[in-house]
């Protein structure tokens, strides 16, 4: 897949997300990425660098929690090869009308059978530390998905709702994963929940204000995904607002985002961060 059809562009503008049901990445890539998950979540980092966020550690955290790592690309070149993809950047830019794209963060998500939910949220609620506070996300399934296995679920059209406050405390295993959505839904808006059902290698792109989350995995299969969060290439740090993790990369007196940590993956004039050639 190298470009969007006019129908796909229309779906993204209407619903706040667009789905590629199968074949966004091929079977060999899916296999490679699956193989990288076990050492990554066991704390064996090929580059010797710990990811920025390790939200599940074996022996420390309950087995019924969804496992999440943020910026696994820094720890594993196999993950990096996918999350820093030029093609993903170009397709994301086409949906948002941007002239260039950089990666601000990736996620590796692993939801084994019995794992609890991830709360509904808008990515835009967490972006006040960057300017402009905009993002698009590419979510790639590494397993066939189903509603029973706790796949990502979108609230169609919610990108037009007001931006909700942060709900960090309601993200991992909340008692009611839909509660933030119900609080934010305007009274006149009909709720349209769409669970993402795709084959392994399928994908979805979603707008930063589209509500999404996932229910518990009540099935018998694992649900793994590799995710790229992308922002405009010209994005800078906010001079005052700080993120507890990612603002550590903000230099004193300088709001530019260092390409060593937030690489540019595609621009309309053909530029990528130079080190990505490796």
* pLDDT value at residue 209: 97
Find the mean pLDDT for residues 250-264. 97
* pLDDT value at residue 139: 98
Using the predicted structure, report yes or no on whether residue 82 has a pLDDT greater than 80.
Answer: yes
CATH code, domain carrying 48: 2.60.120.620
pLDDT in tens, 115-164: 999 999 999 999 999 999 999 999 999 999 999 999 999 999 999 998 88
Which long-range contacts link 238-244 to residues 24+ away (Cβ below 8 Å)? 238/128, 238/129, 238/130, 238/131, 241/128, 241/129, 242/129, 243/126, 243/129
For the chain, what is the domain count?
A: 1
* pLDDT value at residue 72: 98
Find the mean pLDDT for residues 213-237. 97
pLDDT in tens, 88-123: 999 999 999 999 999 999 999 999 999 999 999 999
Q: Considering only CA atoms, which of 227, 232, 235 is closest in space to residue 267?
A: 232
Residue 204 lies in a domain: yes
Categorize the per-residue pLDDT at 166 as very low, low, confident or very high, splitting at 50, 70 and 90: confident
pLDDT in tens, 8-40: 999 999 999 999 999 999 999 999 999 999 999
Categorize the per-residue pLDDT at 86 as very low, low, confident or very high, splitting at 50, 70 and 90: very high
Categorize the per-residue pLDDT at 172 as very low, low, confident or very high, splitting at 50, 70 and 90: confident
Residue 243 lies in a domain: yes
Structure tokens at 134: 């905009």
* pLDDT value at residue 173: 85
The percentage of residues in the chain with a pLDDT greater than 90, rounded to a whole number, is: 94
Using the predicted structure, report yes or no on whether residue 87 has a pLDDT greater than 80.
Answer: yes
Dihedral in degrees, nearest 10, Cα atoms 92, 98, 100, 103: -50
The boundaries of the domain holding residue 74 are 6-277
- The residue written with tokens 């229910």 in the block is 215
Residue 268 lies in a domain: yes
Categorize the per-residue pLDDT at 75 as very low, low, confident or very high, splitting at 50, 70 and 90: very high
Residue 1 lies in a domain: no
277 contact partners, CB below 8 Å, separation of at least 6: none
Find the mean pLDDT for residues 41-53. 97
User: In this predicted structure, which of 85-89, 110-114, 164-168, 267-271 has the lowest mean pLDDT?
Assistant: 164-168
Using the predicted structure, report yes or no on whether residue 169 has a pLDDT greater than 70.
Answer: no
pTM, two decimal places: 0.96
Using the predicted structure, report yes or no on whether residue 167 has a pLDDT greater than 90.
Answer: no
* pLDDT value at residue 133: 97
CB 230 within 8 A of CB 104: yes
Mean pLDDT rounded to a whole number for the chain: 95
Residue 24 lies in a domain: yes
Residue 90, classified by CB atoms within 10 Å of its CB into exposed (0-12), middle (13-18) or buried (19+), is middle
Residue 250 lies in a domain: yes
**Distance in angstroms (rounded) separating the CA atoms of residues 35 and 40:** 9
Using the predicted structure, report yes or no on whether residue 193 has a pLDDT greater than 80.
Answer: yes
How many other C-beta atoms are found inside a 10 Å radius of the C-beta of residue 113? 16
Measured between alpha carbons, how far apart are the two ends of the chain, in Å?
23
Residue 111 lies in a domain: yes
* pLDDT value at residue 240: 96
Residue 199 lies in a domain: yes
Categorize the per-residue pLDDT at 165 as very low, low, confident or very high, splitting at 50, 70 and 90: confident
């Amino acid at each position: 897949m190298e470009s969007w059809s006019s129908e796909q562009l229309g779906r993204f503008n209407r619903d706040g997300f667009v789905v590629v049901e199968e074949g966004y990445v091929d079977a060999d890539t899916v296999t490679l990425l699956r193989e990288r998950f076990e050492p990554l979540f066991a704390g064996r980092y090929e580059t010797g660098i710990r990811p920025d966020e390790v939200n599940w550690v074996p022996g420390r955290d309950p087995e019924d929690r969804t496992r999440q790592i943020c910026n696994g690309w820094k720890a594993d070149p196999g993950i990096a090869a996918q999350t820093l993809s030029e093609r993903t950047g170009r397709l994301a830019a086409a949906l948002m009308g941007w002239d260039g794209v950089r990666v601000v963060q990736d996620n590796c998500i692993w939801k084994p059978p019995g794992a609890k939910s991830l709360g509904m949220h808008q990515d835009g609620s967490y972006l006040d530390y960057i300017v402009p506070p905009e993002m698009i996300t590419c979510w790639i399934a590494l397993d066939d998905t189903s509603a029973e296995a706790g796949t990502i679920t979108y609230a169609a059209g919610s990108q037009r709702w007001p931006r909700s406050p942060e709900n960090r405390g309601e993200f991992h295993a909340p008692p009611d994963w839909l509660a933030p959505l119900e609080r934010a839904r305007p009274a006149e808006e009909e709720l349209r929940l769409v669970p993402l059902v795709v084959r392994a290698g399928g994908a979805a792109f979603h707008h930063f204000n589209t509500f999404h989350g996932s229910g518990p995995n009540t099935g018998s299969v694992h649900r793994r995904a590799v995710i790229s969060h992308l922002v405009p290439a010209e994005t800078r740090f906010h001079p005052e607002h700080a993120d507890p993790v990612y603002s550590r990369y903000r230099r004193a007196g300088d709001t530019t985002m260092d390409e060593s940590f937030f690489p540019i993956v595609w621009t309309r004039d053909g530029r990528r961060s130079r080190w990505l050639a490796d």
